[in-house]
Amino acid sequence: MGLLNHDLAHEFPQYLQKMRDLTASDARFASLFARYDVDNQTIATYEQGVGTISDEALEEMKKKRLKTKDEIYQMLKAS
């Protein structure tokens, strides 16, 4: 089974310019964006079999990533 690409450009292609604008102008958005990217890269690394992590810990990381993505989406919709 192939891994899905969860980076924000693939998740929200219709908001690419808004993401660029908000990353440059809104510190809160930029922080969420950076956090999402780090969490997403970490999850992808574990899913590729690099390193070890319990299933429960990986699921918690995914939940955290989803919560961050939801916050980002709300900010994109509101702008």
The shares of helix, strand and coil residues in the chain, as percent rounded to the nearest 5, are 80, 0, 20
Express each pLDDT in 43-57 by its tens digit. 999 999 999 999 999
The stretches in the chain having pLDDT less than 50 are 1
Q: What is the pTM of this model?
A: 0.89
Please give the pLDDT value at position 5. 77
Please give the pLDDT value at position 6. 87
Please give the pLDDT value at position 1. 44
Residue partners of 36: CB distance under 8 A and separation at least 6: 8, 65, 68, 69, 72
Please give the pLDDT value at position 62. 97
Task: With beta carbons less than 8 A apart as the criterion, state whether 3 and 44 touch.
Answer: yes
3-state secondary structure of 33: helix
Task: With beta carbons less than 8 A apart as the criterion, state whether 29 and 75 touch.
Answer: yes
Domain ranges of the chain: 8-78
